[in-house]
Amino acid sequence: MTFLSARGRLAQVWERAIVRISLIQVIVAAAVLFGADAIYDRLGATLLGGVFDELAHVSTALLCLNLLPTRWRRPILLPALIASVLMDADHIPQYLFQAYFLTVGTPRPYPHSLLTLLICLTFAAASVRHGRIWLGISVGVALHFLRDMAEGSGTGIALFWPLSDRGYAYPHAVYLALMGAVTLVNLVLVERRASGRVHGRSVAPGGAEMRTSFQPENVSSACPSPAVGLAPHGDAVPARGGPV
């Protein structure tokens, strides 16, 4: 297998597993979110508790991002999901080395503040080449804060550090209700997107929506372009080794 074909296959797996999540995947993501959240609530800020906390963070980000149209979501999804977890890297000094220099006077380390979000958004606006990556990181950071502000400890985030050390939080029940609503909207959206694909609306690898003339029963005989293949259930997927 060449590097290009391996990359193409990886892109297909990513597209089907993460970008175009199915009804079942939404249910699994929601189960992971609420399950991990409940376990973290019991374990608290331990190493194992941290693992479940990050699972809840990444599934929160995935479900929230899935509310966006595919063409907006696809370019920022990977950096956003990574940032939604890596945001907690600033806890490492205190948990591994008992070094609290990043969190003197604040409920969480200093990077957990709007200043980080502002810096990421500035890079997103200023960078021509990596603007989308920085935009994705910004979204991931914002979604990370969404959960952190509602975690069980109730200490919240010092949003306005360094201007203020005060932590801002909101009730955990509100977060759970919000994510319940996000899950319900996801279920509706995923169903609509699936029926949209079956009825001839598809999305090209570059993100532009396009029309296809096929019907479910003649999928094997219709192909909208040489660069796009059709999966048995009617999804448009990049051809092996083609552009992704």
Which residues are at the interface with Zn ion (CB under 5 A)?
88, 148
Q: Which is nearer to Zn ion, 162 or 216 (CB)?
A: 162
Name residue 202's beta-bridge partners: 210
Sign of CA dihedral 64, 55, 206, 238: negative
| Least distance in angstroms from the C-beta of 162 to Zn ion | 18
Q: Which is nearer to Zn ion, 44 or 243 (CB)?
A: 44
Q: Which is nearer to Zn ion, 88 or 235 (CB)?
A: 88
Q: Which is nearer to Zn ion, 16 or 91 (CB)?
A: 91
Q: Which is nearer to Zn ion, 87 or 124 (CB)?
A: 87
| Least distance in angstroms from the C-beta of 174 to Zn ion | 18
| Least distance in angstroms from the C-beta of 74 to Zn ion | 26
| Least distance in angstroms from the C-beta of 161 to Zn ion | 14
| Least distance in angstroms from the C-beta of 31 to Zn ion | 22
| Least distance in angstroms from the C-beta of 57 to Zn ion | 7
Q: Which is nearer to Zn ion, 25 or 153 (CB)?
A: 153
